[in-house]
């Protein structure tokens, strides 16, 4: 078994001289590296889903470098179980950090579908006043005629737009979906 571990320990010198770092600090560094690695992974996957090749490539590059440095720290210090726990905790924390970061950045657009009974014209007017492009159509619902309003908005404006709609019609049905590509329209 040692014959396989020794080459790994030599490879583990990538990035940092782990032997010079105090043993108590190593798990913290591993945790921080793994959290960053996974947060970048979450953002990278979102860029892949949105077909943003350059951003996905850059994120993948830095994610790989950070991953290699972190795993080198674990391999170089296999005798400390705290390093393994830090690696696992960094993985879990990185997922949460990635979601929080993605929500903060809110890249892309959302497609809001609003269904309102009797308030469609007021909602449409308020959306247009807020410089939000929207289209209104009449449709039939279970209880009769309803207004369907479609609008595409930057994701970072989704919460405020939904609150605006609900301030006019608290019983409006609203669904939001991510938009992969958006071309044309009055603000294009």
Going by C-alpha positions, the residue among 47, 171, 157, 48 that lies closest to residue 110 is 157
By percentage, how much of the chain surpasses pLDDT 70?
88
Q: Give residue-wise pLDDT tens across range 13-56.
A: 556 777 788 888 899 999 999 999 999 999 899 888 878 899 99
Predicted local distance difference test score (pLDDT) of residue 172: 93
Long-range contacts (CB closer than 8 Å, 24 or more residues apart) made by 41-46: 41/94, 41/98, 42/94, 42/95, 42/97, 42/98, 42/99, 42/101, 42/102, 43/98, 43/101, 43/102, 43/105, 46/102, 46/107
The hierarchical CATH code for the domain 109-179 is 3.30.70.120
- In the chain, domain spans: 2-105, 109-179
**Which residues, listed in sequence order, are joined to residue 29 by a DSSP beta bridge?**
none
Is residue 60 a contact partner of residue 117, using CB atoms and an 8 Å limit? no
pTM beyond 0.75: the answer is no
Going by C-alpha positions, the residue among 80, 79, 76, 58 that lies closest to residue 68 is 76
Looking at the predicted structure, is the pLDDT value of residue 152 above 50?
yes
Looking at the predicted structure, is the pLDDT value of residue 187 above 70?
no
Looking at the predicted structure, is the pLDDT value of residue 139 above 60?
yes
Average pLDDT over residues 99-118: 85
Which of 6-10, 28-32, 149-153 bottoms out in mean pLDDT, i.e. has the lowest?
Answer: 6-10
Distance, C-alpha 26 to centroid of its chain: 28
Which residue's structure tokens are 């320990």? 9
Looking at the predicted structure, is the pLDDT value of residue 73 above 80?
yes
Average pLDDT over residues 151-167: 90
Looking at the predicted structure, is the pLDDT value of residue 188 above 50?
no
Looking at the predicted structure, is the pLDDT value of residue 8 above 70?
no
């Amino acid at each position: 078994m040692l014959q396989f571990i020794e080459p790994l320990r030599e490879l583990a010198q990538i990035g940092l001289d782990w032997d010079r770092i105090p043993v108590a600090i190593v798990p913290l560094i591993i945790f921080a590296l793994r959290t960053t690695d996974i947060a970048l992974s979450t953002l990278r996957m979102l860029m892949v889903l949105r077909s943003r090749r350059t951003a996905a490539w850059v994120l993948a590059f830095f994610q790989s470098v950070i991953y290699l440095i972190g795993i080198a720290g674990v391999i170089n210090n296999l005798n400390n179980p705290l390093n393994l726990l830090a690696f696992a905790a960094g993985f879990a924390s990185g997922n949460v950090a990635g979601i929080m970061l993605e929500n903060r950045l809110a890249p892309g657009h959302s497609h809001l579908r609003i269904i309102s009974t009797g308030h469609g014209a007021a909602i449409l007017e308020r959306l247009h006043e807020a410089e939000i492009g929207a289209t209104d159509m009449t449709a039939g619902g279970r209880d009769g005629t309803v207004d369907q309003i479609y609008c595409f908005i930057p994701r970072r404006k989704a919460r405020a737009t939904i609150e605006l709609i609900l301030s006019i019609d608290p019983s409006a049905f609203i669904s939001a979906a991510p938009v992969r590509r958006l071309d044309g329209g009055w603000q294009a």
